[in-house]
A = this chain, B = another copy of it.
Amino acid sequence: MRRIRVGLLGLGTVGSGVFKALKSNRDVILKRTDLLFEISGILVRDRQKRREVDGIQPLLTTRFEQLLEQKVDVVLEAIGGVEPARTYIERALKAGCHVVTANKELIAKHGVELDALAQEKGVQLLYEASVGGGIPVLGTLRHLLKSNRIHRFSAILNGTTNYILTRMETEGISFDQALAEAQQKGYAEADPTSDVDGLDAAYKLAILGRLTFEVDVPVSQVSCRGIRDINPWELQLARSLGYRIKLLAQGEQYGEKGPLSLQVGPALLPFSHPLARIEGVHNAVHLEGDIVQDVTLVGQGAGERPTASAMVEDLCNVCCLPADHGCSAGEATLLPVDTGGSRFLFLETRESITQAKVAEVREVLRQIGLAVTDVSALREGKNGLAIILRRWDPSYPAVLLAELGLDVTHVVDRPVFGAVSSSDPALAASVS
C-alpha cells in the first residue's frame, strides 16, 4: 500500500465531488491500485462558509503556503480561472508535486508552458476533467489511440448550450426561456456568457486540438460563435429538413503536419451523424483515425460526480501510468473559417411564407446563377423560410432580401456538417 498525500484547492461543486468520491470509493481504489489517498489540506477563500461535507473544518485553510508545507504528493486544483490558479499550479510543480486540474481556461491559455514545466520537473500535470467532464477523452488520446493519426474530430463540448438547444427544439421555447430553465436546474451559471457565447467550448477545443494534432493552439485564434441568435423556428425548420443544430467544436488537419481548422459554432448535422442524437447536458467527441476509423465517446460533460470522476481517475493515473508529454511540433497554422461548402440559410419573417413565395425564391436563386441541384432543400414555415444550398457565397442573403421584399426580422446562415441530404426521410417527415 502506498500512501499519497493530496492537497485540494477549492471545495465548490468539483472540489466537494472529489472529496466525496475519494471517501466513498477508497476501498475500490485501494484494491485496484494499492493506493491510499489522504487529503492533507483544502484551500478555500472563506473558512467560515457553511460546507456540505461534514468534519472538514480542520482541513480548511486560506493560505496556499500552509498546504504546500504539508509535503503533499499531488495537488488537485478545482478553483477555476487563471489567477491565482496558475501561480498555485506553478508553485506546486516547482515543489515537485504532480498536479491534476479541471481548469479549461487555464489549460487552454497556459497549458503549453505548464506542460513544459511539469516535464522539466519530472512530474505530471493531468487535466482530463477540463474537457468533456467524465468522458475519458484525453486519456483515450494519450494512452489508447497512440498509434493512430487522428485527422479530424467533431465534438459537443458544452452541456449547457446542448441542453438549451434540446429544450428549444423539443418545447419550442425561446433562447431566454431555455436559458432561465438551465439556470434554475443548475446547468448554467448566473453569468452564462462563457457557455452561450461558445468560449467554454473554445477552451476545450484548443486543448483537444493541441493533444490531437500535437501542435500549440493559441486559444485566441480559435474561431468562435455562440447560440444567442438561434430561435426555436430555426431549429424546427432545420429538423423538418432532416438536420439538428448543435454547437459544434470541430478540428481538422489538412495533410500531415498541414494547417488546421479549429472552430466552434452552431452547425447543422444530419440525423444520421453520431452527434446529432446527443441530448441535454451530454457531451460527445467523434474522432476519425487512420487505422481505427471512427470512435465516438459520449457521457456527462459536467456536474459534481462526472467531473470528480475524471479528477480522481487522473489522481490514480499520475501514480500509476507513465507521463505522456506528447510531442508538440511548434505553433499551429490556423486556416481562416471556410465560408464555402454547404450552408443553411434561415430568414425569420414577420409574415407567413406561402408556397407562392417559395416559387419566387426558387426563381431568384436561379437568377443568382444556382442550378436546381445546388438547392438541396427549401422549406417554408409560419415564421420563416429555410434553404440549404450546396454552393454558397456570402452575398446570397443580401441579394435574396433585396429581390424578395420580405419583412425579415432575422437572417442567419450556418454551415452544414456531413453529407447534405435528408438522409433519414422518415425522421424528417415526422416533424414536417
Say whether A11 faces chain B, with CB atoms less than 8 Å apart: no
Q: Which of B28, B148, B303 contacts A25 (CB 8 A)?
A: B148
In the complex, residue of chain B having the shortest beta-carbon distance to the beta carbon of A25: B147
A135 surroundings in chain B (CB, below 8 A): 295
Say whether A397 faces chain B, with CB atoms less than 8 Å apart: no
Interface string of A14-30 (1 = CB under 8 A from B): 00000001001100110
Say whether A320 faces chain B, with CB atoms less than 8 Å apart: yes
Query: In the docked arrangement, what's the CA distance between A281 and B104, Å?
Result: 35
A21 surroundings in chain B (CB, below 8 A): 147, 291
Say whether A363 faces chain B, with CB atoms less than 8 Å apart: no
Q: Which of B277, B298, B300, B316 contacts A146 (CB 8 A)?
A: B316
Say whether A94 faces chain B, with CB atoms less than 8 Å apart: no
A327 surroundings in chain B (CB, below 8 A): 31-32
A136 with B147: in contact, given A299-B295, A312-B291, A327-B31 (CB under 8 Å)? Answer: no
A309 surroundings in chain B (CB, below 8 A): 145, 147-148, 289, 291-293
In the complex, residue of chain B having the shortest beta-carbon distance to the beta carbon of A298: B296
A401 surroundings in chain B (CB, below 8 A): none
In the complex, residue of chain B having the shortest beta-carbon distance to the beta carbon of A299: B295
Residue pair B32, A295 in contact (C-beta under 8 Å): no
Query: In the docked arrangement, what's the CA distance between A148 and B297, Å?
Result: 17
Residue pair B136, A24 in contact (C-beta under 8 Å): no
Residue pair A32, B297 in contact (C-beta under 8 Å): no
Residue pair A312, B147 in contact (C-beta under 8 Å): yes
Query: In the docked arrangement, what's the CA distance between A343 and B157, Å?
Result: 37
Classify chain A's interface size: 35 or more
A25 with B291: in contact, given A136-B144, A140-B140 (CB under 8 Å)? Answer: yes
Give the interface segment out of A190-198, A244-252, A405-413, A422-430: A422-430
Query: In the docked arrangement, what's the CA distance between A429 and B272, Å?
Result: 18
In the complex, residue of chain B having the shortest beta-carbon distance to the beta carbon of A431: B426
In the complex, residue of chain B having the shortest beta-carbon distance to the beta carbon of A128: B144
Residue pair B296, A299 in contact (C-beta under 8 Å): yes
A300 with B306: in contact, given A277-B277, A312-B147, A327-B31 (CB under 8 Å)? Answer: no
Residue pair A28, B149 in contact (C-beta under 8 Å): yes
Residue pair B134, A143 in contact (C-beta under 8 Å): no
A294 surroundings in chain B (CB, below 8 A): 299-300
In whole Å, how far is A267's beta carbon from the nearest beta carbon of chain B? Answer: 19
Residue pair A299, B292 in contact (C-beta under 8 Å): yes
Q: Which of B272, B279, B296 contacts A297 (CB 8 A)?
A: B296
Say whether A172 faces chain B, with CB atoms less than 8 Å apart: no
Query: In the docked arrangement, what's the CA distance between A289 and B296, Å?
Result: 18
Query: In the docked arrangement, what's the CA distance between A27 and B135, Å?
Result: 29
A310 surroundings in chain B (CB, below 8 A): 292
A316 surroundings in chain B (CB, below 8 A): 146-147
A320 surroundings in chain B (CB, below 8 A): 143, 146, 322
In whole Å, how far is A250's beta carbon from the nearest beta carbon of chain B? Answer: 18
Say whether A391 faces chain B, with CB atoms less than 8 Å apart: no
In whole Å, how far is A390's beta carbon from the nearest beta carbon of chain B? Answer: 25
A143 with B139: in contact, given A293-B305, A295-B297, A300-B292 (CB under 8 Å)? Answer: yes
Residue pair B147, A32 in contact (C-beta under 8 Å): yes
Say whether A317 faces chain B, with CB atoms less than 8 Å apart: yes
A-B contact pairs, 22 of them (CB 8 A): A24-B290, A25-B148, A28-B147, A32-B326, A33-B146, A136-B144, A136-B145, A143-B143, A143-B321, A144-B313, A145-B309, A145-B313, A147-B312, A148-B313, A274-B298, A291-B306, A293-B305, A296-B296, A297-B297, A297-B298, A298-B298, A322-B322
